[in-house]
Structures are given as C-alpha cells and as structure tokens.
Amino acid sequence: MKKIVVGGLEGKMGSFLVEAIKAEEDIELVAGVSEVEQLDGEIPIYNDIQKVLDEVEFDVYVDFTVYQFAKMASEVMLKAGKAIVIGTTGFNKEDLDYLKTIAKENGGKGVIAPNFSIGAILINKFTEICSHYFDNFEIVEYHHVNKKDQPSGTATYIANTLDCALKRKLTSTHVHSVRMPGVLAKHQVLVSDEYQTLELIHQSNSRHSFEKGIILAIRKVSELDELVYGLQHLLD
Ligand SMILES: NC(=O)C1=CN([C@@H]2O[C@H](COP(=O)(O)OP(=O)(O)OC[C@H]3O[C@@H](n4cnc5c(N)ncnc54)[C@H](OP(=O)(O)O)[C@@H]3O)[C@@H](O)[C@H]2O)C=CC1
Ligand SMILES: O=C(O)C1=N[C@H](C(=O)O)C[C@H](O)C1
C-alpha cells in the first residue's frame, strides 16, 4: 500500500486526484495540505509542510498547488529524504538543478512532471524528431481562463527540448499563450521551412488524460534513486 499526502487537494487537479485514487486499491490518501488547516475531518489537512513530516507516516508527497509553494515543499521533502511526485508547473533550470542536488545529498527521490498525459510526452518526442529536419518553430499553448501560470509548464518543457536539440540558448523558442473559456489544455507546435509547414497538436479534453501518468508516478517513484524531470523517465 502506498500512503500519499496530496498538496492542493482542494484545487482542480488535487480534488480530481483525490477522487481518482479511490478506485486504486494500493494507494491510500492519508493527509492533505491546503492553505487552511483542518484537523477534524476524515483525513488531517495541514497548512504547514514541516508538520506533515513530523506527524504523518507516508510514502509519497504529491503536489498540485502553485509554483512558490511547490518549490518550498519539494525542498523540505527532499531534505527529509522523502519521495515526491510534483505536477505543479513553473520550475526553472536553477530550481531543478538545486533540487536534484538536495535529493542526491539527502537520499530524496522523485519526479517533477509538467504534464502527466502520454500525448504530451509524445508531442515532445515528435518535436525533437522535427528538430533534425527543421529550424523554425513556434509553440502555442491554450488553456482555461483560471490557469494561474503562463506560459504553461508543458510549453516551456517542449521549448527547452528544442533549444537543447538545436544547441541554442534556453528560452530561444517563442511560446505564445492563449486563455479561453471552453478550453482545458492544448499544445500546438508549428514547424516550417520556406516551402512547407507542419503542425503537431495535443489536446487534453479531460483531466482523466493526466490520471494514468500520475498513478504510474506514485507507484514507481520509490524505484528511483534520484530526482528526475519529466514522466518519460518512468516509462519503459
Ligand atoms: N503535471 C500535470 O500533468 C498538470 C499540472 N497542472 C499544474 O498543477 C498546478 C495546479 O493546477 P490546478 O489544480 O488547476 O490549480 P488550482 O488553482 O485549482 O489548485 C491549486 C491549489 O493549490 C492551493 N494552494 C495555493 N497556495 C497554497 C499554499 N501556499 N499552501 C497550500 N495550498 C496552496 C490552492 O488553494 P486556494 O484555492 O485556497 O488558493 C488550490 O487548492 C498548476 O501549476 C498547473 O499548471 C495542472 C494539470 C495537469
Ligand atoms: O494548468 C493546467 O490546467 C495545466 N497545466 C500544465 C501545464 O502548465 O503545462 C499541464 C496541462 O497543460 C494542464
């Protein structure tokens, strides 16, 4: 049985995950983290991450909150040698390098993944293949109007893949952000040379698109011996 703590369990992704894991016999939610402490419910909900470490027995900390909080929670958990699964977006290269070092020094492990859907992993892979043949790329990300960060973590991830593949400075690839009602999450990569254009599109029509990836990460994270960036590190 994997005992998990979910940070942001009252948010859109957190509450979706809490429902989704009810169907999983080997995963149990033992506590939550929110902005307001509530210790008298079915499970304790803390607003202090250190208190979670002191008072709860758990295997994996899962986070769908906001960048600043997720960064702090990841640091605290990794310093304590815990396993983390972080879906919150906004982590930059310096954050990741720092957290990887902390994980190594303290026996912490985990995955920080800006997108848990298999389609998003594939669009990143196909974009990398395109970089063998093309030089011109634009990325457009479309999301719901309540999304707090911009550009999306997935768009930044694909842009970084391209910048590395094309041996350019990070942030060279243009990312355009659109926020519209009726959209959940869509990523479009536009590719061209003088004579042709190619478009890659991935769209999440439901939060169920992230479900399998998150469950897989919770199950497999303990097998890691480091902190990795991207769900593909856990796929065969
Ligand atoms: N990796 C992936 O596959 C996916 C990643 N995401 C990412 O997940 C994150 C959350 O998205 P979403 O669920 O839509 O956002 P929401 O705004 O719906 O949820 C965020 C939650 O975090 C809580 N929160 C904010 N600050 C704190 C804090 N200081 N302490 C504790 N809890 C806090 C919020 O509480 P309150 O409302 O009270 O402020 C809210 O419940 C985003 O970064 C998003 O990009 C989203 C979908 C898929
Ligand atoms: O906020 C969201 O909704 C999503 N956030 C992630 C991102 O920033 O890439 C993943 C997905 O696009 C949904």
pTM score, whole prediction = 0.97
Question: Is 147 known to be catalytic?
Answer: yes
| Residue-range domain boundaries for the chain | 2-112+208-234, 118-204
CATH code of the domain occupying 2-112+208-234: 3.40.50.720
Q: Rg of the chain's alpha carbons, rounded to an integer?
A: 18
Q: b/e for 152-185, b at 16 or more Cβ within 10 A?
A: bbbbbbbbbbbbeeeeeeeeebebeeeeeeebeb
Encode pLDDT of 144-179 as tens digits: 999 999 999 999 999 999 999 999 998 899 999 999
Write down the pLDDT at residue 204: 98
Question: How far does residue 116's CA lie from ligand 2's centre (Å)?
Answer: 9
Confirm if 169 and 163 have CB atoms less than 8 A apart: yes
Predicted complex: ipTM over 0.85: yes
Ligand 2 atom showing the smallest separation from residue 147 Cα: 1
Atom 14 of ligand 1, nearest CA residue: 12
Pick the CATH number of 118-204 from 3.30.70.150, 3.40.50.360, 3.40.190.10, 3.30.360.10: 3.30.360.10
Question: Mean pLDDT, to the nearest integer, of 11-37?
Answer: 97
Q: State yes or no: pLDDT of 31 exceeds 80.
A: yes
Evaluate: CB of 204 within 6 angstroms of ligand 1: no
Q: b/e for 111-148, b at 16 or more Cβ within 10 A?
A: bbbbbbbbebbebbeebeebbeebeebebbbbbeeebe
Instruction: Give the whole-number percent of the chain exceeding pLDDT 70.
Output: 100
DSSP-assigned letter for residue 26: T
Inter-CA distances, 191 with 123, 137, 147, 186, 199, Å:
12, 5, 26, 16, 6
Exactly one of 109, 143, 186, 202 is catalytic; name it: 143
Encode pLDDT of 33-87 as tens digits: 999 999 999 999 999 999 999 999 999 999 999 999 999 999 999 999 999 999 9
Question: Mean pLDDT, to the nearest integer, of 17-43?
Answer: 96
